[in-house]
Structure 1
Amino acid sequence: MKALVINGPNLNMLGIREPNIYGSDNYEALVEICQTAAEEAGFTGVEVFQSNHEGALVDRVQEAYGTIDGIVINPAAYTHTSVAILDALKAVAIPAVEVHISAVEEREDFRQISYAGMACFATITGEGLQGYAHALQLLAEKLGL
């Protein structure tokens, strides 16, 4: 079973961007957490993908059809704006978990709506980068690993 972790805009700036909210670990640390967690959860492979472009995120979700068993997605700023990502997740119907590093439910009002989350069976917020490990474990359980 293969997992895909998708990260949206500005996540490549981890460790630089607002460390008081997102922590001081960099993107490479996030990738390592995902690789370790996926292996521990029983996945045979994991790809970690990041883009600052909405269309690239939609394309990667669509490309997952038939080759990926589960998705962990942090759409970042597109969480609150992208019906296109929601529609792509619904189209491929691959089990998905939404993850956010910060506790978005405690932040600005505009962050209270998650379009992508409407196509996910679970949402993890406020656990920092370890939220990705939690999301991969939930995904593995859902897939029967």
Structure 2
Amino acid sequence: MPKTIYVLNGPNLNLLGQREPDIYGRETLSDIEASCRQLCDAESVDLVFRQSNSEGDLVDWIQQARTEAAGIVINPAAYTHTSIAILDALSACEMPVIEVHLSNIHKREAFRHHSHVSSRADAVIAGCGAQGYEFALLRIFELISS
């Protein structure tokens, strides 16, 4: 199995550091990518780090990961609550999947409390800010090494 991890990010995450920093933090997506790369480099794991505002792109990348990756970390952002297509794509993957949210979606508006992705995820990390990505990668490393 390849030692590559896909970290996929959904809509509006390209605005991190600018959009509602009191909720999502001041770190940018580039900052998060840099910390993820550092962790992956230390483990000799390749990283594919992507963001799109398009649901179709995310589905395509999940399908690509089926043959190229050992695991997926995904922050589907608003698609968490709406996308059966992303759930179906993840369900077709036979690898660890970790769902990440910067904010605690369960402390927010009621429509954010349900995640379609969680039913497929091996773990869900919410409310840890950018550090949640690090936690997710550490867990993926454990899962792919066992």
Task: State the TM-score, normalizing by the size of structure 1.
Answer: 0.95
Identity among equivalent positions (%) equals: 46
Aligned equivalents of 2:63, 2:93: Cα separation in 1: 6
Counterpart-to-counterpart distance in 2, 1:105 and 1:39: 33
CA displacement 1:100-132 (0-9 Å, x = unmatched): 000111111001111111111000011110100
Q: What residue number does 2:80 align with?
A: 79
Q: Provide the residue aligned with 1:51 in structure 2.
A: 52
What residue in structure 2 maps to residue 106 of structure 1?
107
Task: Return the letter of the residue paired with 1:123.
Answer: V
Per-residue CA distance 1:32-51 (angstroms, 9 max, x = gap): 111112233x2420011100
For residue 29 of structure 2, what is the aligned residue in structure 1? 27
Native 8 Å contact 1:2 1:43 kept in 2:
no
Which residue pairs with 1:38 in the alignment?
40
Task: Please name the residue that 1:127 is paired with.
Answer: 128
Residue 96 of structure 1: aligned partner:
97
Moved more, 28-37 or 97-106: 28-37
Paired residue type of 1:56: D
Structure 1, unpaired ranges of 5+: none
Taking only aligned residues, the RMSD between alpha carbons, in angstroms, comes to 1.1
* Partner in structure 2 of residue 65 of structure 1: 66
Equivalent-residue separation in structure 1 for 2:94 and 2:10 (angstroms): 20
CA–CA distance in 2 between the matches of 1:77 and 1:135?
A: 19
Moved over 4 A (4+): none
Shift of 1:98: 0.2
CA distance in 2, matches of 1:67, 1:107: 35
Letter in structure 2 aligned against 1:2: T
Distance 2:65 2:94 in 1: 10
CA–CA separation in structure 1 for the residues paired with 2:112 and 2:44: 31
Report the CA distance shift for 1:106/1:56 in structure 2 as closer, same or farther (over 3 A): same
Q: Please tell me whether the aligned partners of residues 33 and 129 of structure 1 are also in contact (alpha carbons under 8 angstroms).
A: no
The TM-score normalised by the length of structure 2 is 0.95
Long gaps (5+) in structure 2: none
The structural deviation recorded for 1:17 is 0.5
Contact 1:12 / 1:27 at 8 angstroms: preserved in 2?
yes
